[in-house]
Amino acid sequence: MGMNKTKKLSLAAVMSALCFVILFLGSVVTVLDLSCAMAASFIIIFCVIELGGFYPYLVWLVTSVLGLLLMPDKFGILVFAVCMGIYPIIKSYIERLPKVISWILKLVIFNAMLTAVIAVSRFIFGISTEEISFSYIVYGICNITFVLYDLASTRMISLYLFKLRKRFKFINKQ
C-alpha cells in the first residue's frame, strides 16, 4: 500500500521547498549555480521514485516558477527550469528504450535544452556573449558534463533503491 494523496502532496511541497533552498544557495553564491541546479535535480529523482504520477512535474514546476520570480540571479534557476529539473522525469521514460536509442535521445534532448538555456540567457535575461555562447567548445564541454551527470544520477538511483530506501521509515515499501 502506497502513500495517500495528502502525504504525497505534503512531501511534494517539502521537496519543492528543499529544491528552492538549494537553488537559492546557487543564486546567492553564483559559483555554485550549476552545481546547485544538478543537486536540486536529485530531489526530482527522489520524487519520480517515491511519488510518481504528476508529483515530480508539480515539484519541478513550482520550484521553477517561484525561482524565476524570486531568485536574485536567474541563471541557475533557468538551467534547472529548462534542463536539470525536467530531465530526471524524461530520463525515467527514455531509459525504458533500448540503450543505444535511449542515449541518442538523451543527447538530442539535452542539446535542445542547452540551446534553449543559451538562447533564453542571451536574448531574454541579457547575459553577455562572453559568458555563454553557441560555440562548439561550450557544447562539447556541456555534453561531456551531461554524460557524467547521467551516469552519476544512474548510480545515485541504484544506491538509493538498493541501500538507502529501506532506511526511510516514512516511505511505505512496495
What pLDDT score does 15 carry? 95
Q: What is the 3-state secondary structure (H, E, C) of 35-98?
A: HHHHHHHHHHHHHHHHCCCCHHHHHHHHHHHHHHHHCCCCHHHHHHHHHHCCHHHHHHHHCCCC
What pLDDT score does 173 carry? 47
Vertex 160 angle, CA 158 and 166, to 5°: 125
Residue-wise pLDDT tens digits, 152-161: 999 999 998 8
Vertex 74 angle, CA 70 and 78, to 5°: 110
What pLDDT score does 132 carry? 61
Using the structure block, give the residue that is written with the C-alpha cell 542515449.
Answer: 103
Residues 41, 39: Cα–Cα separation, whole Å: 5
Residues of the chain with pLDDT under 50: 1, 173-174
Amino acid at 136: Y
Residues 142, 148: Cα–Cα separation, whole Å: 10
What pLDDT score does 129 carry? 54
What pLDDT score does 135 carry? 78
Residue-wise pLDDT tens digits, 60-99: 999 999 999 999 888 889 999 999 999 999 999 999 999 9
Please say whether the beta carbons of 16 and 59 come within 8 A.
yes
